[in-house]
């Protein structure tokens, strides 16, 4: 069942509409997108030839209301009204599977990806069925994280490794940041050098609000330095004190998480994923709870844009 899952591909022919953005807008306006998305978890709109100029209209139709990427930890550039580059993480590396903002107190229900320009080679967006990822993990791992994990962040004030707190929260107002963090019951501390330390305990699994299905919903592996590789981890620990690592993670009670656990979680997600190989003009809508996503390494001048909503 899980093993056979893949996104539902919708084309002008299957939708019986014109092969352009107007056809997609018409289909999305009349079809039961909510039901289709819950049933199939991800919808790939292919062959509609959507241009970057037409993306805002398509995004507005497929997303209820676009939200800002506040508290996001991936490097991105804002290119429109809450439309961003998908990530600016170096192209030579895979990005492991994750659900957007699963470490935060609030996350988008939907994420929309758009291919303005596919990579020369590689660059697929892998998707993983959240139930499959969870069921594929060693029971000992699931038991270890039953009480959740604690994400720890150090955001510099303008100079340092990783994102600044101003970029992360899209504001330079301390009070606005504190209001946001208090709403999520996070703990925080402003440092003497102008940085911000944050810690927050979050569950490792959640249940979908419609289907009730329990899925893996945790970025433990991405926040653990072990998944950077041994050499990178040693170099990072040599130049930074532990409390100034851009991000780290422990079990909810503060117990360190063994490196092999983080590596196994990362490997399991990538191994169970289904690749979406991009074509120019593709739009991919995913349920951000039911499906995790990532990125394969690539060559060339790939341009994928992303927007998200509740």
CB atoms within 10 A of CB 282: 23
3-class SS of residue 175: helix
Q: Give pLDDT, residue 240.
A: 63
Question: HSE of 163 in the Cβ direction (CA atoms, 13 Å)?
Answer: 21
Confidence of residue 158 (pLDDT cuts 50, 70, 90): confident
Output the six-digit token pair for 121. 């080679």
**160 Cβ partners below 8 Å, 6+ apart?**
195, 244
Q: Answer with the residue of higher pLDDT: 285 or 310.
A: 285
Q: What are the pLDDT digits (tens) for 53-107? A: 999 999 999 997 888 887 776 767 888 888 998 877 889 989 999 999 999 888 9
Closest CA to 104 of 73, 135, 82: 73
Between CA 73 and CA 228 the distance in angstroms is 15
Burial class (CB in 10 A: 0-12, 13-18, 19+), 211: middle
Residue 264 Cα to chain centre, angstroms? 19
User: pLDDT digit string (tens) for 218-269?
Assistant: 999 999 988 765 555 555 655 566 677 788 999 999 999 999 999 999 999 9
Q: What pLDDT is recorded for position 89?
A: 81
Task: Kindly state the average pLDDT of the residues 258-284.
Answer: 96
CB 126 within 8 A of CB 297: no
Q: What is the pTM of this model?
A: 0.91
Share of residues in the chain with pLDDT > 90 (%): 75
Residue 236's contacts (CB-CB under 8 Å, 6 or more residues apart) are 225, 228, 245
Question: Nearest to residue 282, comparing CAs of 114, 121, 119?
Answer: 114
The residue among 302, 309, 248 whose CA lies nearest residue 64 is 309
Q: What is the pLDDT of residue 208?
A: 96
Q: What average pLDDT does this structure show over 195-217?
A: 96
Closest Cα to residue 127, out of 277, 228, 262? 277
Report the pLDDT value the prediction gives residue 30, as an integer from 0 to 100: 73
Residues 6+ apart with CB under 8 A from 214: 131, 134, 205, 206, 207
- Bridge partners for 304 per DSSP: 115
pLDDT reading at 117 higher than 80: yes
- Domains in the chain (CATH in brackets) are 2-122+275-309 (3.60.130.10), 133-268 (3.60.130.10)
């Amino acid at each position: 069942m899980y093993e056979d899952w893949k996104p539902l591909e919708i084309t002008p022919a299957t939708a019986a509409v014109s092969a352009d953005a107007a056809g997609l807008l018409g289909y999305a306006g009349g079809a039961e997108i909510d039901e289709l998305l819950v049933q199939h978890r991800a919808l790939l709109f292919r062959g509609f030839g959507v241009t970057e100029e037409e993306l805002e209209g398509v995004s507005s139709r497929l997303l209820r209301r676009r939200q800002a990427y506040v508290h996001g930890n991936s490097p991105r550039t804002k290119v429109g009204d809450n439309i961003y580059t998908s990530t600016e993480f170096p192209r030579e590396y895979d990005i492991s599977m994750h659900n957007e903002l699963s470490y935060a107190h609030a996350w988008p229900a939907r994420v929309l990806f758009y291919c303005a320009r596919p990579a020369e080679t590689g660059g697929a967006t892998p998707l993983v069925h959240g139930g499959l990822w969870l069921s594929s993990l060693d029971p000992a791992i699931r038991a270890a994280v039953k009480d959740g994990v604690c994400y720890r962040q150090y955001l510099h004030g303008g100079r340092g490794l990783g994102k600044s707190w101003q970029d992360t929260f899209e504001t330079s107002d301390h009070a606005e940041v504190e209001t946001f963090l208090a709403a999520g019951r996070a703990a925080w501390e402003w440092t003497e050098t102008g940085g911000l330390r944050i810690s927050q305990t979050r569950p490792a699994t959640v249940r979908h609000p419609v289907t009730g299905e329990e899925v893996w919903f945790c970025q433990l592996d991405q926040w653990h330095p072990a998944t950077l590789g041994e050499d990178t981890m040693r170099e990072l620990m040599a130049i930074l004190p532990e409390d100034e690592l851009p991000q780290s993670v422990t079990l909810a009670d503060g117990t360190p998480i063994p490196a092999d656990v983080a590596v196994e979680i990362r490997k399991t997600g990538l191994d169970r994923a289904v690749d979406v190989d991009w074509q120019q003009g593709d739009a991919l809508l995913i349920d951000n709870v039911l499906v995790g996503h990532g990125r394969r390494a690539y060559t060339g001048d790939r341009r994928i844009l992303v927007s998200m909503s509740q």
